[in-house]
Structure 1
Amino acid sequence: MDASLSRALRKVGAAAALVCCLAAGCTAADPQAQQNTGTTAPAAVPMDANGLQSDYQKVIKEVLPSVVQIEASRELGSGVVYDDKGHIVTNAHVVGSEKTFRVTTANSEQPLTARLVYSYPGQDLAVVKLDKMPAGLKPAELGDSRKVEVGQIVLAMGSPLGLSSSVTEGIVSATGRTVSEAGGGSGATIPNMVQTSAAINPGNSGGALVNLAGQVIGIPTLGAADPDLGNSSAPGIGFAIPASMVKTIADQIVDHGKVVDSGRAALDITARTVVDERYQPAGVAVVSVKSGGAADKAGIRPGDTITKVGDQPITTITSLAVALAADKPGQKTTVTYQRAGSERTAEVTLGQQ
């Protein structure tokens, strides 16, 4: 039930290289000593390897009990215990349109019942709440997204393919990615995603991407797919929503029962992709304009075709979403559009999604 990255995305992990690197630092016993004894001394195991293994085990022991499996009537995903009141954060595409769920914790095979608090597909996040908070269920600690660095070792925890309490490892491959979902996802375009090489498969969505300090730095959401290979899994490319955004959205849902300040810019229109005479995407046609919204105030009307926002060409709905993803409500930008065969440009003060 995970999104594919055009979905564009599915994943695969990588980490053996680290072990190989450590092993390469091993030193053999003195050759003369080997000659004297007639035996070959075993290669020494670096202390760092043992220490790293201990770190993994410590983090898994601390964090895995805070990661749950979420089951809807026909779908399966993961979630992270958010507080001691029974709130669990997950992906919007995990909950879909359903309102009630079965939740299985790492320490019990007996499912608990939970209900939807609110789903926000725009950021592909949702919060469900357990009907009864079991004893010993500990909230996860969310990390500081500003401190996430490329090369950090991370663990992905969740229920890939229904295999509950599974753990894979990798590194942070990149930060600040803007990723668009499609297919089975929420259809959201999400900025500032964390890219990871940790294996993320269907069922991992809504789980935890964790650093070696035991902090959740992101919610795994997408695995990359390669369009040239029929959208099959693209190994080693996965994406997670950063913890800072998770906290911003989840806090609002817990406090208000909905998202009251998304921080995401919008033109306040409904639109569709249009194609040229060669059936190639050529812009975004405005279908309707919200009265008093950003586009309305700038003079943009239904029937106009948007071709550029700022200096970014617009050919599809997705490219429009990507162009707006890095902007903030209240920010000014220029919108270039076609009307009755002529090109026009308007300055727009962006609204809020």
Structure 2
Amino acid sequence: MDRHLVTRIGAGVVCAALIAGCTPVDTASSGTARTTGVEASTAASSLEQGYERVVRDTLPSVVQINTESGLGSGVLYDDKGHIVTNAHVVGTETRFQVSFAHDSTPRAATLVATHPPEDLAVIKVDGSLPSSPAKFGDSGELRVGQLVLAMGSPLGLSSSVSNGIVSALGRTVAEPAGTASPGTTIADMIQTSAAINPGNSGGALVDMSGSIIGIPTLAATDQRLGGAAPGIGFAISVNTVKRIADQIVRDGKVTESGRAALGITGRTVIDRDRENVGVGVVTVIAGGAAQQAGLRAGDVITKLGSADTPTMADLNRALADRKPGDRASVTVLRGNDTTKVDVTLGEL
């Protein structure tokens, strides 16, 4: 076969060359490679443009909140100046300085209300606003693997953006006590690989439509090595955020927490071998679920339903998975005896 004919067939009509028994020349494969490279470049460009669009539309609604003891982030909730953030960002303070992403003038803000059980709070900026409120989505529609962006002021670096994915849904996470927070257990949290660092708290976790789908709250720690566990952060789901923030904006407080409660104060009890035994009941709240069921100070709670409760964090986690009005069997040590008490759970 004439060499020139093979070249033309290889470059122009590959199948004809194969049918004729010829070996396809490199021109065909290099053409495919060029096409694939163009497609990859186009896809990358499209993704970059998507990121840029979300940042452009959403970042102006994300603020930095400065307090006397530190800083955090927040998100403009409505056109009345309400800003939603974490309760541990505001702590016990009532006055703040708020800086918007594209506005150089800090603005005074005051506390509306804080709700530590869900680690959420609402503050309010008076006067004109330099930005429109953020768009809040529906965390019930999230899927593992979705691309997300975290926006806030990590380590004081205002208007920072990191990217990742939704790593898991429906996590129940125990949040440790701190100088500005009593500690709590929060259900229905979003796990994300987007970097979350101190200062990100109260900011925005955003999907690629530009909707807020969560409020970044804490990063995981490595229990064996200490320090942060890279790529494992948690955000309060936006459906929880809207449920709590709507009540605070409307009523100035949370009137229906949706959180189950036993109605006790307790502490973790350890034995002589320094092993956790359960939750010791320190006090029983008058009229609460525990008192009505016959629990009393000195009881040690070892189970709620089928869930072991060796620590206060475990008891809080078990309660976070239930609703007010649920009935539960509580296993307690009372003196040398083990007994079970049926409790109708109250509301936190």
| TM-score, length-scaled by structure 2 | 0.89
The residue that corresponds to 1:198 in the other structure is 194
- Contact kept, 8 Å, 2:268 with 2:280, in 1: the verdict is yes
The residue that corresponds to 1:269 in the other structure is 264
The 1:133–1:34 alpha-carbon spacing in structure 2 relative to 1, beyond 3 Å, is same
Gaps of 5+ in 1: 1-29
Q: 2:85 aligns with which of 81, 85, 90?
A: 90
Secondary structure at the counterpart of residue 237 of structure 1: strand
1:252 is the counterpart of 2:253: no
Q: What CA deviation, in whole Å up to 9, does each residue of 1:253-312 have, x standing for no partner?
A: 001111000000000011111001101111111111112210111110111110100001
The residue that corresponds to 2:13 in the other structure is none
1:221 is the counterpart of 2:217: yes
RMSD: 1.8
TM-superposed CA distance for 1:133, in Å, is 3.1
Whole-Å Cα distance in 1 between the matches of residues 87 and 281 of structure 2?
A: 27
Sequence identity, in percent? 55
1:332 is the counterpart of 2:301: no
| Relative contact order, higher structure (CA 8 A, sep 6+) | 1
The 1:41–1:214 alpha-carbon spacing in structure 2 relative to 1, beyond 3 Å, is closer
Residue identity opposite 2:193 in structure 1: S
1:110 is the counterpart of 2:105: yes
Q: What CA deviation, in whole Å up to 9, does each residue of 1:125-163 have, x standing for no partner?
A: 0000003232x4211111111101100000000000101
Superposed, which structure 2 residues align to 1:13-92 within 5 Å?
31-32=26-27, 43-44=37-38, 45-92=40-87
The residue that corresponds to 1:151 in the other structure is 145
The residue that corresponds to 1:207 in the other structure is 203
The residue that corresponds to 1:316 in the other structure is 311
The residue that corresponds to 1:167 in the other structure is 161
The 1:341–1:88 alpha-carbon spacing in structure 2 relative to 1, beyond 3 Å, is same
Whole-Å Cα distance in 1 between the matches of residues 187 and 299 of structure 2?
A: 27
| TM-score, length-scaled by structure 1 | 0.87
Whole-Å Cα distance in 1 between the matches of residues 182 and 331 of structure 2?
A: 28
Secondary structure at the counterpart of residue 229 of structure 1: coil
The residue that corresponds to 1:19 in the other structure is none
Deviating runs (4+, > 4 A) in structure 1?
40-43
- Contact kept, 8 Å, 2:74 with 2:204, in 1: the verdict is yes
The residue that corresponds to 1:344 in the other structure is 339
The 1:108–1:298 alpha-carbon spacing in structure 2 relative to 1, beyond 3 Å, is same
Residue identity opposite 2:174 in structure 1: S
Secondary structure at the counterpart of residue 46 of structure 1: helix
- Contact kept, 8 Å, 2:177 with 2:184, in 1: the verdict is no
- Contact kept, 8 Å, 1:92 with 1:186, in 2: the verdict is no
Whole-Å Cα distance in 2 between the matches of residues 42 and 162 of structure 1?
A: 42
Whole-Å Cα distance in 2 between the matches of residues 98 and 62 of structure 1?
A: 31
TM-superposed CA distance for 1:33, in Å, is 8.0
- Is the deviation greater in 184-193 or in 205-214? 184-193
Q: What CA deviation, in whole Å up to 9, does each residue of 1:90-124 have, x standing for no partner?
A: 00000000010000001112110000000111000
Q: 2:171 aligns with which of 168, 177, 196?
A: 177
TM-superposed CA distance for 1:32, in Å, is 2.8
Whole-Å Cα distance in 1 between the matches of residues 26 and 127 of structure 2?
A: 65
Secondary structure at the counterpart of residue 224 of structure 1: strand
Secondary structure at the counterpart of residue 58 of structure 1: helix
The residue that corresponds to 1:141 in the other structure is 135
Whole-Å Cα distance in 2 between the matches of residues 347 and 143 of structure 1?
A: 39
TM-superposed CA distance for 1:42, in Å, is 11
Q: What CA deviation, in whole Å up to 9, does each residue of 1:291-347 have, x standing for no partner?
A: 221011111011111010000111111000001101000010100001111011011
1:128 is the counterpart of 2:123: yes
Whole-Å Cα distance in 2 between the matches of residues 34 and 81 of structure 1?
A: 53
Whole-Å Cα distance in 1 between the matches of residues 166 and 36 of structure 2?
A: 34
Q: How many corresponding residue pairs? A: 319
Pick the structure with greater CA Rg: 2
Residue identity opposite 1:333 in structure 2: A
Residue identity opposite 2:342 in structure 1: E
TM-superposed CA distance for 1:217, in Å, is 0.2
The 1:342–1:41 alpha-carbon spacing in structure 2 relative to 1, beyond 3 Å, is closer
